[in-house]
Structure 1
Amino acid sequence: MARKPNYDFERRERERLKAIKVAEKAEAKRQAREKARAENAGAENAGEAPPAGVEPAPDKG
C-alpha cells in the first residue's frame, strides 16, 4: 500500500534544501570575492610607497 502524501512537508523540505544550497553558493562566492580583493590589493601595493601616515624607520648611521 502506498503512503499518504504529505505535500506541505515535502514542499517545505524542498525549499529548506534549496535555501541551504543557495546559502552555500553565496558563501563560496563571498569567499572568492574576498580572496580576489586581497590578491588585487596585494598586487597594487607591491611596488608602491607605504601608505600616507606611515613613516620610514630612522637610519642608524
Structure 2
Amino acid sequence: MLRSSNPLEPTTASFGATDIPRKPNYDFERREREKTKAAESAKKAQAKAEKRAAEKGASDADQSGGS
C-alpha cells in the first residue's frame, strides 16, 4: 500500500492521468519511423564503408610490405 508521511501528498502513482485515448497522428508517426530507419541504414552503410576501407588498407599493406 502506498502511504506517505505527508497527508497532502497523493498516494497513487497515476495522479492526474486521464483515461481518454489520444488521437493518432499517422503521418507524423510514419515520418518518425522513416527517419529512424534512414538513420539506422546510414549508420550501417557508414560501418560497412569503414570496414571495407580498413580491409583494403590491410590488404594493401600486406601486398606492399611483402615485396
Ranked by relative contact order (alpha carbons within 8 Å, sequence separation 6 or more), the top structure is: 2
TM-score range with shorter-chain normalisation? Answer: 0.7 to 0.9
Which runs of at least 4 in structure 1 moved beyond 3 Å after TM superposition? none
Q: Give 1:3 shift.
A: 0.3
Q: Does 1:42 align with 2:61?
A: yes
Could you report, residue by residue, the CA deviation over 1:6-59 in whole angstroms, capped at 9, with x for unpaired residues?
Answer: 0000000000000000000000000000000000000011121xxxxxxxxxxx
Q: Does 1:22 align with 2:34?
A: no
Q: Provide structure 2 residue ranges, at least 5 long, that are not aligned to the other structure.
A: 1-19
- What RMSD over aligned residues (CA atoms) do the two structures have, in Å? 0.4
Q: Percent identity?
A: 46
Q: Provide structure 1 residue ranges, at least 5 long, that are not aligned to the other structure.
A: 49-61
The alignment covers a number of residue pairs equal to: 48
